[in-house]
Amino acid sequence: MTHRIRWRSDDPVFRLAAVLVAVASLSGYGSTGRQGARTRTAFAAQVESLSEANGYFDTDNLISNERSYLAVLPELDRLNVRGGAYIGVGPDQNFSYIAHIRPSVAFILDIRRDNLLLHLLFKAIFQQSRTRIEYLSLLFGRAVPADIESWRESPIARLAEYVNRPPLDSKSIDAVKSRLEVVIKGFGVPLSPDDLLTIDRFHRRFIESGVDLQFQSAGRMPQPYYPTYKELLLETDPKGNQRNYLASEEAFQFVKSLQQRDRIIPVVGNLSGPSALAAIGRVVGEKGETLSAFYASNVEFYLKRQGSYQRFVSNLGRVPHTNRSVVIRSTFDFGGSTSEVRSVEELLAQSGVRQ
């Protein structure tokens, strides 16, 4: 069935509200049907069963600070890293790797419960957005354009420029946020009032900072090499191609399809913790999948400093893998980040883990 929206007003607030209502009906969220309830409950149950206790890290991690995150894509192509199960840490740079690797299932594993809450916000915005321009408009609290179809094939630079404008008025933003809260609650993950306030705070940061948003650490100023959200959107791989998950409608739609089927699962857990990564490994095995890529960012640095790196490697060895399974890692110096790919089997062998 084709759904068409006829705009009866040029008011951007009206357009935004109409899009939210229409997309909610398309996605099925907000429905009280029994099938939708089972799906949401299954998602919430998996989040809960895989997660460990909340931990601490001194960053907001709303966006990446790794300008080099796309540098690994040609190597992933050379190694034919495709499909399977994906595991990654942190915010939405994972979606760019997911869009490129095309896994059947993805787990976003992070020590901070805040990261889970952030991904629930992303999931809700995916559910409420048919296109990239709608997604960016809702994320940054900007008016959704009336001629949505004309934006489908637009270059990412045009989208970034569109949302680089003043946000909607506070009343309209509150309406958007209330709508998203309903969707988030519908996922079935138990959320306290403080959790909802945290999600609200995260969304306000996107809205207030716009595409100039940067990674922040507690008590420290942003480093000059930290990219803005706009710079991450426009970043290219070593061949000069823009490969962010929002750089093409096709890439966005793939990630959206996984979100709609509850196949991007945020999990609270330490990579060297007692249960989360091992439990993910069991689920991957039960699904008959093997690990394609594990995006570890620079977490290994902190694990080594804490003396828990070997436990991480042991946990990683319990995730079903092949000779094409890789770890994507980042390192930092005063010039910024460097991203690289390493074979899982090599890492395990060098660490003395029996396979």
For position 67, what pLDDT does the model report?
95
How many CB atoms sit inside 10 A of residue 289's CB?
18
CB 243 within 8 A of CB 254: no
Residue 3 lies in a domain: no
Q: Taking Cα atoms as reference points, which of 105, 90, 39, 6 lies closest to residue 339?
A: 90
At 219, is the pLDDT very low, low, confident or very high (cuts 50, 70, 90)?
low
Work out the angle between the directed axes of helices 12-27 and 132-140 (0-180°, nearest 10): 120
- For the stretch 42-99, pLDDT in tens is 999 999 999 999 877 666 789 999 999 999 999 999 999 999 999 999 999 999 999 9
**Beta-bridge partner residues of 331:** 338
β-pairing, 85-88 vs 336-343, is: unpaired
Domain span at residue 99?
12-350
State residue 224's pLDDT score.
77
Query: Residue 171 is encoded by which pair of tokens?
Result: 């009343």
Identify whether 263 is part of a domain: yes
pLDDT for 115 equals: 97
The distance of Cα 213 from the centroid of its chain, to the nearest Å, equals 16
pLDDT at position 20 is 41
Question: Residue 186: inside a domain, yes or no?
Answer: yes
Instruction: Pull the structure tokens for residue 347.
Output: 């890492």
Residue at 331 is within a domain: yes
Q: Is the dihedral of CA 213, 215, 221, 224 positive or negative?
A: negative
User: Is residue 5 one of the residues assigned to a domain?
Assistant: no
pLDDT score for 23: 38
Residue with tokens 């990261």: 115
**pLDDT bucket at 38, cuts 50 / 70 / 90:** very low
4 falls within a domain: no
Residue 355 lies in a domain: no
Q: Does any domain span residue 7?
A: no
* Confidence class for position 135, pLDDT limits 50, 70, 90: very high
pTM as predicted: 0.87
* Domain total in the chain: 1
CB neighbours of residue 22 within 10 Å: 15
